[in-house]
Structure 1
Amino acid sequence: MSLLWVWVTLAAAAAQTLRFLLQRQLAGAGRGGGLSAGGATFSRFLFGAPIASLIAAGLLAAGARVAVPGAGFFGFVLLGGAAQVVATFLTVRLFSLRNFAVGVAFTKTEAVQVAILSAVLLGERVSALGWAGIGVGLLGVLLLSRPPEGFSARAMVYGVAAGGLFGLSSICYRGATLALEPAPFLARAFVTLACVTLAQSLGMALYLRLREPGELGRVLGSWRRTVWVGVTGVAGSAGWFTAFALMNAAYVRALGQVEMVFTLLASVFWLRERLSAREGAGMALVVGALLLIVAAQAGGG
């Protein structure tokens, strides 16, 4: 089962790419439109929370034993959930500043940030080969993210901030799943996911009620589209949380850079954007980085 985390991470990255495509449309940057950045962000959690809760309840009913969570678990859940909400909000805002592939690329500084945070907060370090993979991947992502007309300062700020917050949420979710040991990894993943998405749904609902009157009704009224954001969102989150329960978050998020490749392919085949030679070279670097990261973990680094 040593490489199970790899396959789970790849599946999570694919699901997240699809969710970003759907969320981009809901936010008005693609076909359809109609919701604010806050509404599009909320749609991710609203329909995902019940699904995650049902699966967690099913695992517990089937005999999975999970100790009563302590304060540390809930601290990780609340901090990670809040960081992810803000990061998702910033990512949705990015879609109106840059084309789809470039907007997502700016968030990929997360791989470096999460490796540092993982060592500081959880004491989980990355090997030299792992750092090499992260560095090569970062170069590939930077190559992918530089449009011919140059960077947008606002997009860079949003992207780097989103990457840092996504990184913080990853570390918190890893910490929360570890706090539930020695329960089975699937039970730890889904109990954590259920608690996180419930907290996020309540928090976002309160925010929209106070700051964006009427947006809650628009999200619910668009349920035929928003439900798919929730479904793909919880599918991706289930993959990430399961991977976090199995492996150091730094390796998981570094491998998750394959999402950039999926994003570019989606941009070409779905959004009809052109793939340049520079982007092709960047994709090659990202794929090479993934091989280094897997090799580093397989070698015990």
Structure 2
Amino acid sequence: MQVASTWRRSRWISLVVTSLLVFGLVAPLAAQEPQAIAGGSMNYLPAVMSNPELDINNRQSVVNFYTNFYLPSEGVADGWTGSQASCNAGTTSQAYRDAILLRVNYFRKMAGMAAVTLNESYNSQAQQAALMMSRNNSLSHSPPTSWACYTAAGKTAAGKSNLYLGQIGPGAITGYMLDPGAGNSAAGHRRWILYPQNKSIGTGDVPSRSGYAGSNALYVITSDFGTARPATRTEYVPWPPAGFVPYQVVFGRWSFALHNGNFSNATITMSQNGTNIPVTKETVATGFGENTIVWIPQGYNHSSSWAQPSADTTYTVTISNVVVNSQNRSFTYNVTVINPNQ
């Protein structure tokens, strides 16, 4: 894949906004603020990160992974040292950045790809971008020099980052995976988080202070963009993934990515215990990470979280008429939505 122009890169990254219309994109519902959990601790993060074992087809393994990877990133103090009023981007605590990384890698490992690390240069630039978004209470991938707290580094990061206004930290990461709003029908934020080539990313986070909205900038178009695609668990990358999945991370929009797939005429069928579930296919859009098809099952919408199941519930998904190297192919897989607390 050739490296895109600056303009095209900017177009590729969409915006998540809380109750704010920007460039025709709106997400009226944002992910909830993270809540502290009993006994939550980041002390064992290095050990967990160095040995992230997961068997997606083993229910207990998935439950353990949710407990050890997802939940510990809740309720961590941001420790921000900056100030919107004085244009001081500041920093967040190492524990907070670790929590964000833990959340990103939870989704990546569940999706069947390698974990990423945080790059300090990307972090620094993303922090400048997040400050600009917060201070100006707006989102832009190409902020003008007239913006308060403008910096060239912040502008660079804005053009290469997922952007969120009204949510920061791990909550923003889950918000990107939810990708709510009519303007996010391509699930572009999700696709960048699940971009297999990425080895390192950056995060910038500015909390809500003194009337300014909180903001996250997740630096995702890095020097890894367009490099050779590494192996993934399967050749395709769906969300939710095939296997057991906690209902808390299943959202109204489902997606299926295949890097060399053409989904222009693809069809989706979805069923539960042999009963067909009607779906609404979103308009196919290329240019956000890997080629992807997105749909919404009946009973849900683009801002929905999945209903808590009373028992494990298996859905069968078939994607047909996918053109790969001039050949039509079909893919079938099962997703079992679980309550990890049962």
Structure whose CA Rg is larger: 2
Answer whether TM exceeds 0.5 for this pair.
no
Name the structure, 1 or 2, with higher relative contact order (CA <8 Å, separation 6+): 1
TM-score, L = length of structure 2: 0.24
TM-score, L = length of structure 1: 0.26
Say which structure is richer in strand.
Answer: 2
